[in-house]
Chain A
């Protein structure tokens, strides 16, 4: 017999492992899909190099052999996977530099923007959502709720433009990351606020909260924490989803603010037909997507052990 606490710990580990495996499978499938889509619908990369005058017909053959494009597709895929296992993502068609290095250079910019953007988004979303639920039916509550829906509906590009416009009045200067992060934060706060609002509103009506109030416990922070606890698991998976979205959501922000980053790298790579970079970005995105989901699941399990039974 295993003692009860250990049993639940084993169950958590078990679940986590299953999610890791299914996450890994998903990432692998995504990578496989893009590998074949890139080869099948994209134009031949070496042809496009030649059309752009970047390679002579004589060099083209050498490039084809260097990249292994003369081999059957399945064999190429095998080679790619082998390289991937050794952390080798190949080299860019245009700059002849390592894909990993190229991505690493831009990664810092995107992660800085995404991270500070998400932080602002969570803080703002929390504030709006709690305000809307706590003062539900009152003016301030409705105002917060309206703001939350508006923020969900306004496209990132427009938030960016409005922010630039306002910043140009008050001549905000200095920090390179604050404005774009604010834009991304505003854009991601809407769904967070609405989720908190909807769930908190419900849990504030739940019998045990009402009972607690009846026992004379004031509507204070402890009560709020009680009300918020059940909201955390769905909130975490929403944040995971947003984190995955941020990876591409930064594209627009990077464009509006002329910022370097992975999004712009991706646009350029795809439009120029630099498929090793595109493929490398998909690997990164899939890893990012999977990790954030597994992480959210794990945190949710830690916070609310009841989920173990239900899932």
Chain B
């Protein structure tokens, strides 16, 4: 009896402990904004990691040397008050602000900026994005305490655009040195309107207002931030995002599924904001190194067979524009090809017949040289890629093809499949504000040249575009690039990316940076 009572006591204690864990819960304070993120980044160091998601909080932790105006695309002063580019395009000289103090109390100066560049290009740090954004970077040096010079190996016109992004934000050299590349992400120190408080992977990122901030660029309306604290929570699962708002767990959240966004926008408690994201559209690369997509006519037929406006209406509820080319219409409208791709099943069919793909044995599938028309389609799991791919499959199968669709579970597997090369079409798109974005996708030896297209002409143009200083000349080069990509039918562009942001009506209208993803937290406030 005694023993069993002991056991009963043990069990009771376990039960009570369990219940008390279950019942404790954090209470948010009113001056706190809770921001729903949609992807838990695998790392948060902007100098090392590459995700767009990390910029949503960190854009407000760091300042950059220059900023880009979201509408005009002009570069405006931020940490650098003036800058000067040598006529050969190899030397960039920046006059820095003298009144900027990092969150840890140390002073921002040219030496601090140099330390940042050295941290980024250190090969041991394995920077996934920032280092590449510096292009043919040679060195950075402090000409005097507030004069910074960046030297390039060869001209690189996207440099200012790179310097305007959070990936090249200025971090405290003391903190970088103290924590090193694996731990710095948990102890970030910048000069921005918000201080970095904590990052618990997969759980939350917390920022607090930096009261001393008064060196913000002209893009910001407020001198310092209004909201005391911002908490970022993760909602990777699409189905949970609208619910997170409705259950009061967050005040604002992005990438809300279109159905939910439309439904919530009917409710006066919420507002819907559609923010166009510059960069590449939702797109699929055709593998030009594997039959049958090595044949231009087959690629064109596959393009013609797809009814993109119907896909967009079905999946995105008309909230997205149809993509016109390899770059989004915003802000690249002037670069778009003249003739937009159309949906024309008859044209698709006649092209296939012309190139010898006919259904000779009557099984509904076209053959050529006893080979069935097979399309292996590989897509990533995010951003409506699976839904779009299912409709592509339907369209291509109605053309007389067999389509094997595989939704891979992660970016890692996607890249692995791309390297293995056993596919005919594969989905991937990146974001960016400079057309040089196209280089790594279409250069013959580009890291993401998944269409495996080799062309000296394209290589020459893409290199030219990176060097040209004159905007009009650059535009001319990229128009040629885009025409070539369209003429070769290297991709199937589907829709321009739009971020559907839903936020509580009590919140002021959020503004976003030129990159589209990153909110100006400094200007956000709750209206009473």
Chain A residues within 8 Å of B, Cβ to Cβ: 43, 48, 51-55, 59, 94-97, 102, 105-106, 109, 112, 115-116, 118-120, 122-123, 164, 167-168, 171-178, 181, 229, 232, 255-258, 260-261, 264-265, 267-268, 271-273, 299, 302-303, 305
Contact = CB atoms under 8 A, between A and B. Distances in A.
The 7 A-B residue pairs whose C-beta atoms are closest, nearest first, are A119-B18, A260-B202, A116-B22, A51-B419, A272-B412, A175-B25, A52-B415
B128 A115 contact: no
B236 A258 contact: yes
B413 interface: yes
A53 B415 contact: yes
A119 B15 contact: yes
B22 A173 contact: no
B22 A178 contact: yes
A257 B240 contact: yes
B236 to A, nearest CB: 6
Nearest to A62: B124
Interface in B389-447: 409-413, 415-416, 419-420, 447
Interface of B: 3-4, 6-7, 10-11, 14-15, 17-19, 21-23, 25-26, 40, 42-43, 123, 126, 128, 181-183, 200-203, 234-237, 239-240, 243-244, 246-249, 409-413, 415-416, 419-420, 447
B416 A51 contact: yes
B294 to A, nearest CB: 22
Contacts of A59: 123, 126
Contacts of A272: 410, 412-413
A116 B410 CA distance: 31
Contacts of A305: 3
Contacts of B237: 255-256, 258
B4 A303 contact: yes
Contacts of B17: 115, 119
A267 B415 CA distance: 17
A181 to B, nearest CB: 5
A115 B21 contact: yes
Given A97-B182, A173-B249, A175-B25, A48 B412 contact: yes
A232 to B, nearest CB: 7
Contacts of A174: 25, 248
Contacts of A109: 202-203
Nearest to A302: B3
Contact of A48 (B201, B202, B416): B416
A309 B172 CA distance: 69
B126 A116 contact: no
A172 B410 CA distance: 33
A59 B127 CA distance: 13
A54 B411 CA distance: 12
B203 A96 contact: no
A231 B350 CA distance: 75
A80 B18 CA distance: 35
Contacts of B419: 51
A79 to B, nearest CB: 21
Nearest to A109: B203
A1 B7 CA distance: 30
A55 to B, nearest CB: 7
A271 B248 contact: no
Contacts of B200: 105, 260
A118 B14 CA distance: 10
Contact of B7 (A105, A122, A176, A232): A232
A116 B23 CA distance: 9
Nearest to A53: B447
24 contacts: A51-B420, A52-B416, A94-B42, A95-B42, A97-B183, A109-B202, A115-B18, A116-B19, A119-B14, A119-B19, A168-B246, A171-B246, A173-B247, A173-B248, A174-B25, A178-B22, A178-B25, A256-B237, A258-B244, A260-B234, A265-B202, A268-B42, A271-B410, A272-B412
